[in-house]
């Protein structure tokens, strides 16, 4: 079973390029303010995707689902291909999914509950043992839950419940700056935020193959071409200018004549002009290739190995 995971699209969903898969998962914050028109437009787009199964949970921006659940249900009824989970589950081809929108109190937005309170513990205790794919809007404490490496913003009570449930996959969003994948022995954690911290949809969907005894995460492989280009960039920045190596190249006579002529026009030695051309050409070509390789579609998904629920140092 192939899972395609997105989250925190904030009305930018039409800019996404979704890979093929069996189950399309959205972990909340499909909208900006949770207005009915935003939700309706998102439903129309989400329902039109070719994935056989489409699962959605709400996020802290998706006010309509909390303030006007009847209206949200009415809009959802027009799109029977979408499964909305709110402290509920579904089984697909023998795989058990569970979804929940809640998170510790965050700027007085939707689906907030007091951090460390009984309400959160009761909410997470609803997650059934045997859940294989858990979808929440917010992360557990200590896993892909930081902004610029600062304090952890995830939920402590959710982390405790995960120790008992041990899902194979946990998909969430909420913290845009911690987009990526983390793996422990039991669980593949996916922060699937599509938008970066400037609300631009620069993060590509995370694709996982859920197999009977293994999970394959696509896109975490390093970009070898980009690594080579960055090594070249570093080398060009630290070239020792007093070190010279003679290199012989065969040039046609008209190019040699042209070099001599241009060197005379510029008042330079031919060797110095040729070196200038080489240096400028290398930097120009390097910049062009770096622009291509640094596009979002080329970037590997950030990946972290976990040990006992904490990132390895």
The domain that holds 77 is classified in CATH as 3.60.21.10
Check residue 214 and give its pLDDT.
95
Distance (Å, whole) CA 242 – CA 90:
69
* 275 in the same domain as 178: no
Average pLDDT across the chain, whole number = 92
* 195 in the same domain as 122: yes
pLDDT, one tens digit per residue, over 53-108 is 999 999 999 999 999 999 999 999 999 999 999 999 999 999 999 999 999 998 88
* 254 in the same domain as 129: no
What b/e sequence results for 185-209 when a residue is b if at least 16 CB atoms lie within 10 Å of its CB, and e otherwise? eebbbbbbbbbeeeeebbbbbbbbe
Considering its fold, how many domains does the chain have in total? 2
* 238 in the same domain as 126: no
Comparing C-alpha atoms, which of 226, 200, 228 is closest to residue 300? 226
The pLDDT > 70 percentage for the chain reads 97
What b/e sequence results for 163-175 when a residue is b if at least 16 CB atoms lie within 10 Å of its CB, and e otherwise? eebbbbbbbbbbb
The model's confidence at residue 170, banded by pLDDT at 50, 70 and 90, is: very high
- Residue 305 within any structural domain of the chain: no
- Residue 286 within any structural domain of the chain: yes
- Residue 298 within any structural domain of the chain: no
* pTM above threshold 0.85: no
pLDDT, one tens digit per residue, over 192-251 is 999 999 999 999 999 999 999 999 999 887 778 888 888 888 888 876 666 778 888 888
> Do 45 and 246 touch, CB atoms closer than 8 A?
no
* 30 in the same domain as 155: yes
Sorted by sequence, the CB contacts under 8 Å of residue 52 that are 6+ apart come out as 22, 23
- Residue 299 within any structural domain of the chain: no
Phi-psi region of 199 (alpha: psi -120 to 50; beta: other; left: phi over 0): left
Extract the tokens encoding 78: 């027009």
Check residue 308 and give its pLDDT.
58
**CA-CA distances (angstroms) from residue 48 to 54, 135, 193, 198?**
10, 21, 21, 27
The model's confidence at residue 150, banded by pLDDT at 50, 70 and 90, is: confident
- Residue 250 within any structural domain of the chain: yes
**Angle formed by the axes of helices 69-77 and 36-47, to 10°?**
30
* 229 in the same domain as 179: no
pLDDT, one tens digit per residue, over 273-284 is 998 999 899 999
Comparing C-alpha atoms, which of 157, 91, 103, 160 is closest to residue 130? 91
> Do 123 and 155 touch, CB atoms closer than 8 A?
no
| E-assigned strand segments in 177-275 | 180-183, 188-191, 206-210, 215-218
Average pLDDT over residues 121-127: 97
Comparing C-alpha atoms, which of 142, 109, 137, 110 is closest to residue 124? 137
Check residue 311 and give its pLDDT.
43
Distance (Å, whole) CA 307 – CA 286:
38
Q: Residues 50-53: contacts with CB within 8 Å, 24+ apart?
A: 50/20, 51/4, 51/18, 51/20, 51/21, 51/22, 51/23, 51/24, 52/22, 52/23, 53/22, 53/23, 53/24, 53/83, 53/92
* 231 in the same domain as 206: no
- Residue 169 within any structural domain of the chain: yes
DSSP at 93: T
Check residue 146 and give its pLDDT.
92
Domain range for 235 is 224-293
- Residue 174 within any structural domain of the chain: yes
* 183 in the same domain as 114: yes
Given a cut of 60, is residue 312 above it in pLDDT?
A: no
* 245 in the same domain as 152: no
């Amino acid at each position: 079973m192939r899972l395609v995971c997105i989250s925190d699209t904030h009305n930018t969903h039409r800019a996404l390029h979704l890979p093929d898969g069996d189950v399309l998962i959205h972990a909340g914050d499909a909208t900006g303010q949770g207005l009915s028109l935003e939700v309706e437009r998102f439903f129309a787009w989400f329902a039109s995707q070719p994935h056989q199964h489409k699962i959605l949970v709400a996020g802290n921006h998706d006010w309509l689902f909390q303030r006007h659940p009847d209206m949200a249900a009415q809009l959802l009824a027009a799109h029977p291909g979408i499964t909305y989970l709110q402290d509920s589950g579904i089984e697909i081809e023998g795989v058990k999914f569970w979804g929940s929108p809640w998170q510790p109190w965050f700027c007085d937005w939707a689906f907030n509950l007091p951090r460390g309170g009984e309400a959160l513990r009761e909410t997470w205790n609803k997650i059934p043992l045997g859940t294989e794919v858990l979808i929440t809007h917010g992360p557990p404490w200590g896993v892909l839950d930081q902004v610029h490496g600062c304090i952890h913003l995830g939920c402590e009570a959710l982390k405790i419940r995960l120790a008992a449930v041990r899902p194979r996959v946990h998909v969430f969003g909420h913290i845009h700056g911690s987009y990526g994948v983390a793996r422990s022995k039991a669980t593949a954690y996916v922060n699937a935020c599509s938008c970066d911290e400037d609300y631009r949809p620069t993060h590509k969907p995370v694709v996982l193959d859920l197999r009977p005894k293994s999970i394959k995460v696509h896109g975490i492989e390093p970009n070898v071409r980009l690594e080579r280009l960055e090594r070249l960039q570093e080398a060009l920045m630290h070239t020792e200018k007093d070190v010279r190596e003679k290199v012989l190249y065969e040039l046609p006579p008209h190019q040699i004549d042209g070099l001599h002529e241009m060197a005379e026009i510029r008042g330079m030695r031919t060797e110095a002009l040729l070196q200038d051309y080489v240096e400028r050409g290398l930097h120009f070509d390097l910049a062009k290739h770096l622009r291509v390789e640094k596009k979002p579609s080329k970037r590997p998904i950030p990946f972290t190995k976990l040990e006992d629920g904490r990132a390895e140092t």
